[in-house]
Amino acid sequence: MSQLTRDLFRKRGFAEGHILSHWPEIIGEDLAEFSAPERMVFPRRIREGKGPQGAATLEIRVDGPIALEIKHLEPQIIERINGYYGYSAVSRLKLIQGPLPVKPRPRRRPIRKLAPDERAALNESLEPIAEPELKEALARLGERILGRTSGRKP
């Protein structure tokens, strides 16, 4: 997979897609929910093959007012990115405000209907519960668990 995406990542300034796939680990789940690395821009002398290696500017797409917090935390974020890679990969952040790409939602597996004997066993196990709301919630949970096991006993 990495060989297929290498050229696409290089166009965006990423030597590899590592920062894209590990963004929540690098920046933290809370900030990663409202931000995404867009591309890395290297100084001109490096792009032209002249001069020593230098750190890049990481462009980050941010959604909503989280941009202010990310700007405030810029030194810590750069430190975390560079610490994650073990060298000075990024020297500054450039924030691009706009909507983030839609993240795919995990698909729910289809739940099969319970066999009459399974439903009877589930109802029997819920008999001692007196509170109707709790009983109903546990019944739904039991149906999902038993329906997912494809007929096998849990």
Banded pLDDT at 151 (limits 50, 70, 90): very low
Cβ–Cβ under 8 Å, residues 39 and 14: yes
Share of the chain above pLDDT 70, in %: 77
User: Which pLDDT tens digit goes with each residue over 50-85?
Assistant: 545 668 899 999 988 889 999 999 999 999 988 888
Cα 12 to Cα 6: distance, rounded to the nearest angstrom: 10
Is residue 75 packed enough to be buried (19+ CB in 10 Å), middle (13-18) or exposed (0-12)? exposed
What is the average pLDDT across 28-38? 90
Residue 97's DSSP bridge partners are 62
More confident call, 56 vs 4: 56
Q: What is the pLDDT of residue 75?
A: 95
The per-residue pLDDT for 139 is 93
